[in-house]
Amino acid sequence: MNTTLTRLVIALGLTAGLVSAFIYVQVLLAQNAVDLTTALQTIANREAVANEYKVVNSLLEETVAQRNELASYIIDGDTGTIAFLTALENRAVVYGVMLVDTRLEPSPQTTLTYDALSVSISFSGTKRAVEAFITDVEAMPYALYITNMTTQRQSGNGGVVEVSGTLTLLVSAINIDV
């Protein structure tokens, strides 16, 4: 019986050692699993950021022409101001409207991304020419809106109605002295 008891004690000791070793390995595996999960999540996050970076770069490359067109709607400095005024004068010539006076005043905007340039134009011409001119000015490829307009009917020659007035525009602008 001694032999049997000894064998049983040895078997129990071995079994306890194996169970302890198994539990220790399980704890190590659980810790490694947490570390592995964290590493996998970090890799997945970095891949997602890299993919988003590629998408944003692709979008930037695809929209260069559109962004350049949108930028052209905003007066940029003195050169842009001259180009805007030239376009305005050319439209007046096309419609037979005479621009009597043009005044420019910077208009700082606290609620907008861009500053603005207030453009006041005094004009005269036939009623139809003035209407066509104003309609064309509203459709100019600039970020602008009419803030004020006054017109006065003048005596016309031969039944043609003459109109004079003032038009005030607010045009988005950058790189202007405000």
Residue 178 reports pLDDT greater than 60: no
pLDDT in tens, 7-62: 888 888 888 888 888 888 888 888 888 888 898 999 999 999 999 999 888 888 88
Per-residue 3-state assignment (H helix, E strand, C coil) for the chain: CHHHHHHHHHHHHHHHHHHHHHHHHHHHHHHHHHHHHHHHHHHHHHHHHHHHHHHHHHHHHHCHHHHHHHHCCCEEHHHHHHHHHHHHHHHHHHHCCEEEEEEEEEECCCCCCCEEEEEEEEEEEEHHHHHHHHHHHHCCCCCEEEEEEEEEEECCCCCCCEEEEEEEEEEEEECCCC
Whether the predicted model's global pTM rises above the 0.75 cut: no
Q: What is the mean pLDDT of the chain?
A: 85
pLDDT in tens, 60-110: 888 888 877 777 777 777 888 888 888 899 999 999 999 988 888 887 776
